[in-house]
Amino acid sequence: MLKFTDTEQHYPDVKAAAKRKKDFDEIYAPFDPAEAAVQAERCSQCGIPFCQIHCPLQNNIPDWLKLTAEGRLEEAYAMSSATNTFPEICGRICPQDRLCEGNCVIEKGFGSVTIGSVEKYITETAFASGWVKPIGGISESGLSVGIIGSGPAGLAAADILRRKGHDVHVYDRSDRAGGLLMYGIPNFKLEKEVVLRRYKLLKDGGIHFHLNKDITDWAELHEKHAAILIATGVYKSREIEIPDYSLGGIVQGLTYLTASNRKGLGDKVGEFDSGVMNAEGKEVVIIGGGDTAMDCVRTAVRQGAKKVTCLYRRDRANMPGSAREVKNAEEEGVQFVWLCAPKAFAGKKAVSQILVQRMRLTTHDMSGRQSVVPVDGETFPLACDMAIKALGFDAEDLPTMFNAPELKLTKYGTLDIDSKTFMTSLPGVYAAGDIVRGASLVVWAIRDGRDAAEAMHAHMMAAQRGKKAA
Binding site for ligand FAD (CB under 6 A): 93-94, 148-154, 171-174, 179-180, 184-185, 189, 214-215, 231-233, 254, 257, 291-292, 295, 401, 433-435, 440-443, 445
User: In the complex, what is the shortest distance from the CB of residue 32 to ligand FAD, in angstroms, rounded to a whole number?
Assistant: 25
Question: Toward ligand FAD, which CB reaches closer, 12 or 154?
Answer: 154
Q: Residue 70: CB partners within 8 Å, gap ≥ 6?
A: none
DSSP track, 72-132: -HHHHHHHHHHH-S-HHHHHHHS-TTTTTGGG-TTHHHH----HHHHHHHHHHHHHHHT--
C-alpha–C-alpha distance, residues 407 and 219, integer Å: 12
The answer to whether 327 and 97 have CB atoms below 8 angstroms apart is no
User: In the complex, what is the shortest distance from the CB of residue 388 to ligand FAD, in angstroms, rounded to a whole number?
Assistant: 11
User: In the complex, what is the shortest distance from the CB of residue 19 to ligand FAD, in angstroms, rounded to a whole number?
Assistant: 22
User: In the complex, what is the shortest distance from the CB of residue 291 to ligand FAD, in angstroms, rounded to a whole number?
Assistant: 4
User: In the complex, what is the shortest distance from the CB of residue 33 to ligand FAD, in angstroms, rounded to a whole number?
Assistant: 27
Question: Toward ligand FAD, which CB reaches closer, 380 or 412?
Answer: 412
Which of helix, strand or coil describes residue 138? coil
Question: Toward ligand FAD, which CB reaches closer, 91 or 149?
Answer: 149
Question: Toward ligand FAD, which CB reaches closer, 386 or 432?
Answer: 432
Pairing of strands 283-287, 307-311: parallel
Q: How many CA atoms lie within 13 A of 250 on its CB side?
A: 24
User: In the complex, what is the shortest distance from the CB of residue 462 to ligand FAD, in angstroms, rounded to a whole number?
Assistant: 26
User: In the complex, what is the shortest distance from the CB of residue 209 to ligand FAD, in angstroms, rounded to a whole number?
Assistant: 11
**DSSP class of 30:** P
Question: Toward ligand FAD, which CB reaches closer, 216 or 362?
Answer: 216
Question: Toward ligand FAD, which CB reaches closer, 55 or 359?
Answer: 55
In angstroms, the first-to-last Cα distance of the chain is 57
Q: How many CA atoms lie within 13 A of 106 on its CB side?
A: 25
C-alpha–C-alpha distance, residues 458 and 143, integer Å: 12
Question: Toward ligand FAD, which CB reaches closer, 83 or 292?
Answer: 292
Which of helix, strand or coil describes residue 400? helix
User: In the complex, what is the shortest distance from the CB of residue 210 to ligand FAD, in angstroms, rounded to a whole number?
Assistant: 9
Question: Toward ligand FAD, which CB reaches closer, 94 or 226?
Answer: 94
Amino acid, res. 183: Y
Q: What is the dihedral of CA 126, 130, 132, 137, to 10 degrees?
A: -150
CA distances (Å), 2 to each of 34, 90, 110, 111, in order?
17, 25, 12, 13
